[in-house]
Amino acid sequence: MRSRLGLVLCLIAGFQLLGGHWAILQTAAWVGMVIDYSKAEGVEAGITKTFDGKHPCSLCLSIAQSKEKEGKQATNLNLGRLDLVYQATRWVLSPPPARGEVDIPLYRLTGSTHRPSVPPPRQDPG
């Protein structure tokens, strides 16, 4: 339940960020225009008048104006001087100093001749 709610909220946020709300409003405006124009002149003429661009409704004009305002607000954003570069401390890796040859091998395999004093427990076969 919780992950579904998070997914739905993320999808809604992504939809809004991509301008989906404008698409919904524009679709509603087109549907209204087709209905209005079709009442007087028929369906074919209503669809033609809706999408020819010469007969916009008040909602279409309002959407275009709001989109333009929103675009101007985004471009007029002045962040001033923003220093996002972090000067990290430099770390240098260097090999250890050479001190001659090492006589002891790095890895040793040693065996043992001692056997355990008690045998390991056995599992019952049943």
Domain-embedded: residue 108: no
Domain-embedded: residue 47: yes
The helix or strand, by DSSP H or E, that contains position 55, with its residue range, turns out to be none
Domain-embedded: residue 51: yes
pTM, entire model: 0.49
Q: What confidence tens digit (pLDDT) does each residue in 35-71 have? A: 988 888 888 888 888 888 888 888 888 888 888 887 7
Domain-embedded: residue 2: no
What is the Cα gyration radius of the chain? 38
Domain-embedded: residue 92: no
Domain-embedded: residue 116: no
> CA-to-CA distance for 65 and 52, rounded, in angstroms?
19
Domain-embedded: residue 117: no
Specify whether the CB–CB gap between 59 and 35 falls below 8 A: no
Q: How many domains does the chain have?
A: 1
Q: What confidence tens digit (pLDDT) does each residue in 85-123 have? A: 776 777 777 776 666 655 555 566 566 666 667 777 777
For position 118, what pLDDT does the model report? Answer: 74
For position 111, what pLDDT does the model report? Answer: 63
Domain that holds residue 69: 20-74
The one-letter code for the residue type at 37 is Y
Domain-embedded: residue 59: yes
